[in-house]
Amino acid sequence: MGWGWVGWWRGRREPVYWLLRNHRLSDAIAYQFADTRGPEFPLTDEKFANLVSQIGGRLCNLFMDFETFGEHQAAATGIFDFFEGLPGKLLERNTFAMPSELVGGEEVEVAGEQDVPSAISWAEAERDLGAWMGNAMQVDALTQLYGLEEKVKGSGDARLLADWRKLTTSDHFYYMSTKEKADGGVHAYFRPYDSPYDAYINFMNVLEHVRGRAG
């Protein structure tokens, strides 16, 4: 039986169904697989299949970054062997389904209506946009970047537009995060700069070059 939330987009009357990420089970693979302090360590195919079954017949969506397999969790952790055997273990007591088979069908059990007054993400403890818009540097960079949008698009310069669009990649602002503790460690792991301040300075230098080309 499927399970999800239903909501409404502003200006639309028909419901919009959300198939939400099971963050506990997704994170058990993505972040805790090789963590000896993790609640499920060592995580095996059998153990994980049992955890999925404990949901009680409801839909379990697992979303994680592709680089979980081989980068975040190196081959030496056994992640590839785990993932190779997992589908078979899950199929012993569960089934897989396409979203089109669930949404709007008779088998969907709607858990309730969800109001989302502000933007959300699956990032970090707050599950908000703080990873990209959490400090003054990030807000300034975004403000100045999108302040050029009209001029860049009106220039008719295809190369300039392509370069400007590359600067809208969310990673640039992720590198500028000044978060601390566990979330800060994740940012530092991905950041190719010595500090978030270096990331900001480099971004603004490139943006200034784009600004000059836009005239």
| Averages of pLDDT over each 10 residues, the chain, 215 residues | 40 68 89 88 93 82 88 92 94 86 66 78 81 95 97 96 96 91 69 94 97 93
- Structurally, how many domains does the chain consist of? 2
Both 14 and 104 in one domain: the answer is yes
Domain membership of residue 36 (yes or no) is yes
Domain membership of residue 118 (yes or no) is no
Domain membership of residue 124 (yes or no) is no
The two tokens of residue 123 are 């990032």
Domain membership of residue 109 (yes or no) is yes
Both 93 and 146 in one domain: the answer is no
Contacts of 99 (CB under 8 A, 6+ apart): 19
CA-wise closest residue to 207 among 141, 122, 135 = 141
pTM value surpassing 0.75 = no
Domain membership of residue 123 (yes or no) is no
Both 16 and 78 in one domain: the answer is yes
Both 61 and 156 in one domain: the answer is no
- Let me know the angle formed at the C-alpha of 27 by 23 and 32, rounded to the nearest 5 degrees: 155
Both 61 and 137 in one domain: the answer is no
> Which neighbouring-strand residues pair with 6?
17, 113
Taking residue 120's Cβ as centre, other Cβ atoms within 10 Å add up to 11
Measured CA to CA, the distance from residue 91 to residue 102 in angstroms comes to 18
Domain end call among 61, 82, 113: 113
Domain membership of residue 9 (yes or no) is yes
Both 33 and 107 in one domain: the answer is yes
Instruction: Number of helices (H) and strands (E) in the chain: give both, helices first.
Output: 11, 3
Both 108 and 153 in one domain: the answer is no
The two tokens of residue 162 are 């392509």
Tens digit of each residue's pLDDT (9 = 90 or more) over 125-166: 788 898 899 999 999 999 999 999 999 999 999 999 999 999
Q: Radius of gyration of the chain from Cα atoms? A: 21
Structural domain span for residue 85: 2-113
Preceding omega of 42 cis (within 30 degrees of 0): yes
Measured CA to CA, the distance from residue 138 to residue 142 in angstroms comes to 6
Domain membership of residue 69 (yes or no) is yes
